[in-house]
Structures are given as structure tokens and as C-alpha cells.
Amino acid sequence: MSRRFRPRTAQVPAGATTVHIPQQRGSRSAGPVVVLVSEPPRSLSSRATRALGRLAWHYRAAWAPTGFALLAYPLVAVVHVVGPWAAWVLAAATLAPPVGVWWRVRKHADRLGERPGRLLTLAGLVTAALGWAAATVHFGPLTAPLAWLWLGLTLAAQSFWLVIRRSK
């Protein structure tokens, strides 16, 4: 292999990106042209955002109820604007969890599971969440008591989720 095509090494400082431009025609005795482009240092907000994103991705299963709550709030706001009649549909759907538990207890009381308290707690949380959604679609997402109710339901659902995940 001739010397013309053999790569030459250049001293590059750590953290710099190098772009190697091959030897130009003409003078063979001239060294290779190397352009050093240093990366600008990342801002504090950029580093904090990346760290928060990595943490959120790592613990995504543990924070699932909070993620769903954060998605539900703007979704309910859009439904409030687009179709306020959906409040009546959600209000009717609010009755489904208690009726389901009642039916399960009435027909299959022996097969409630190991921990019936979990089933009742879950039914209560789903009923409250559907009731919140119906009220928010009807009255609007900027109603202060409904915002506080959303926060309380989010905390309750997250706590319930963490307890259930620990005790499996």
C-alpha cells in the first residue's frame, strides 16, 4: 500500500469531532488537512431535560397512572370543546364499575379472588375517574374544584398502582 493512501493519525482533543479531508492533489510533502469542530457545551436545561427523560423512560411502568392522567386532562378538554354531549355518555358509563362489582358479588361470590378489597378499591377509583371525566366535559377543565379532584385522583391511582405492583 502506497503512502499516499495510508491514513495518518492526528492528535485530537477529547470531546472534539474531527472531519478528515483527504490529501489534495499537488504537493505530496504537505500534511493532511484536518478541521476540528468542537461541540458547543450543552445548556443546563438541555442536560436536565435529558436526565428527566431518561428517568421517565427507565421508570415508565411505575409511573403509568400518572402518564394516563396527564393524557386524560387535555383529552377531556378537547372533548369539552368538540362534543359536550359526551358528558352524558360518560355519566352513564360511571355506573358500570359498581354494577359490575354488584353482579360479580351476586352471581359469583365464591370467586371474588384472594383480595376483594383490591377489586372494590379499583371499582371506586374507576367510578371516581369516570365521574370526574363526565363533570369536566360538562363544566370545563378550568373549573378549580375539578382540577383539585383530578390531582387527588391521580395521587390515589398512583399510590394504588405502586401498592399493587409491590404486593404481587
Residue 116 is assigned to a structural domain of this protein: yes
| Rg of the Cα atoms in the chain | 30
**Domain extent for 66:** 61-166
Could you read off the pLDDT of 32-49 as tens digits, one per residue?
667 777 778 889 999 999
- Give the span between the Cα atoms of 97 and 127, in whole angstroms: 6
Residue 161 is assigned to a structural domain of this protein: yes
98 near 42, Cβ under 8 Å? no
- Taking the model in full, what pTM does it have? 0.68
Residue 14 is assigned to a structural domain of this protein: no
Range 89-97 average pLDDT? 95
Residue 52 is assigned to a structural domain of this protein: no
pLDDT at 29: 67
Domain count of the chain?
Answer: 1
Residue 78 is assigned to a structural domain of this protein: yes
Ranking 61-75, 85-99, 109-123, 134-148 by mean pLDDT, the lowest is: 109-123
Residue 43 is assigned to a structural domain of this protein: no
Contacts of 101 (CB under 8 A, 6+ apart): 119, 120, 123
Q: Is 156 exposed, middle or buried (0-12, 13-18, 19+ CB in 10 A)?
A: middle
Across 101-132, b (16+ Cβ under 10 Å) vs e yields beebeeeeeeeeeeeeeebeeebebbbbbbbb
